[in-house]
Amino acid sequence: MTKKKQPKKGVSTNPVKGDCVIPPPLTKPELHKLLFKHSSREAQEIKDYVEWQANGEEKVLHLEKVASERLFGRRHDVWDVHTDKERWWVVTGPTNLYSQTLMPSLDYTLSFHIGLMARVEARREPEGSKAEQEFLLVTNRKILQASEAFDKADEAEEFQAVGMRCRECLLAFIGELIDYGDIAQGDDLPKAADFPAWNDRIANAVASGSSAEYVRGYLKNTAERAWRLANWLTHAPNATRSDAALALSATSHVISNYAMSVLKRKIGAPERCGRCKSYKISVDWRPDLGLYVPRCEACGAEKIPEPTPR
């Protein structure tokens, strides 16, 4: 008796009738080959982001940009990303990922992302580089407190309190700056609370010489006017939110104007890179060394200074 051959596993024994044949689903790698190509750089960034978020435990097999929407001047792209374990939505502006198992709706996910990012960005964070934040710990704490007070303020008295905090911030700023370098050396030093006098000394130090006349004048004028504005706001019985916002902005601007210049002076950072002669010199805070390190942004050269007390 002849043994009947068994059909191979996965092969249909029914003959195909008619012209309508539904092909089997494509594998993810094959599907990816049939897409109109996105920007290779853009797609690679999304792939790298997902695999980084998965700590290397998932591999991206397929990704496709499926939506793009601009809201409040910012573009949000939505990517459909398949890995060997999960399927994700990745939304940009800024970038975050969401499991499609938990959030199957693209529109809902985009709305959730925009709301979440709005709340994240509403939180007050210290301004400036890591080096500037480390350099001005007290000043940054006080400007953050002033910003939070502004966010909560509704009445004139609360706006006046913002002015007082801005005034305290500027005095703390002066105190931290004159703790470093040679700005506080010499005779006939101003009183600690004499902001205009210290402002003159600091501007003369960081923008010295005839070639820096206009820079020096700008630094002095903007800082002096910010100081006057903060003092006026402190005593203004009809202070408004716009007044408080202006004082807060002016205070932050003064800190930004001086911080990096004084920090470079403190550590003796060169004006130009000794290697490539670029003027693009920044300062990094290196907690592993406990030092501020000047670095050339053009060629990456660093100059490790001798340790100095903070």
Residue 16: per-residue pLDDT: 55
Question: What local confidence, expressed as pLDDT, does residue 12 receive?
Answer: 54
Confidence of residue 56 (pLDDT cuts 50, 70, 90): confident
Task: Confirm if 261 and 279 have CB atoms less than 8 A apart.
Answer: no
Mean pLDDT of the 273-281 span: 86
Number of domains, the chain: 3
In this structure, is residue 2 part of a structural domain?
Answer: no
Q: Which of 92, 122, 152 is the last residue of a domain?
A: 122
109 SS3 class: helix
Domain-located, residue 23: no
Is the backbone of residue 298 left (phi > 0), alpha (psi -120 to 50) or beta? alpha
H or E segment and range at residue 120: helix 106-122
Q: What is the mean pLDDT of the chain?
A: 83
Of residues 16, 30, 83, 19, the one with CA closest to residue 53: 83
Q: Do 134 and 258 fall within a single domain?
A: yes
Which backbone phi and psi does 135 adopt, to 5 degrees?
-65, -35
Whether residues 144 and 173 share a domain: the answer is yes
pLDDT for the residue 251: 94
Range from 15-29, 77-91, 197-211, 258-272 carrying the lowest mean pLDDT = 15-29
- Residue 12 in domain: no
Q: Does 211 share its domain with 236? A: yes
The pLDDT-based confidence of 223 (bands split at 50, 70, 90) is very high
When comparing pLDDT for 64 and 134, which is higher? 64
Do 225 and 247 lie in one domain? The reply is yes
pLDDT at 116: 86
Q: Do 38 and 112 have their domain in common?
A: yes
* 87 within a domain of the structure (yes/no): yes
260 in the same domain as 176: yes
8 in any annotated domain: no
Domain identity same for 157 and 285: no
Give the domain range for residue 295: 268-310
Average pLDDT over residues 33-39: 55
pLDDT-derived band at 98, boundaries 50, 70, 90: very high
Count of residues for the chain?
Answer: 310
Q: Is residue 76 part of a domain?
A: yes
155 and 115 fall within a common domain: no
151 and 256 fall within a common domain: yes
Q: For residues 171-188, give the mean pLDDT.
A: 78
Cβ count near 226 (within 10 Å): 26
**What pLDDT is recorded for position 258?**
86
Whether the predicted pLDDT of 229 surpasses 90? yes
Same domain, yes or no: 159 and 200 = yes
What pLDDT score does 28 carry? 58
Listed residue (283, 288, 257) closest to 135, CA to CA: 283
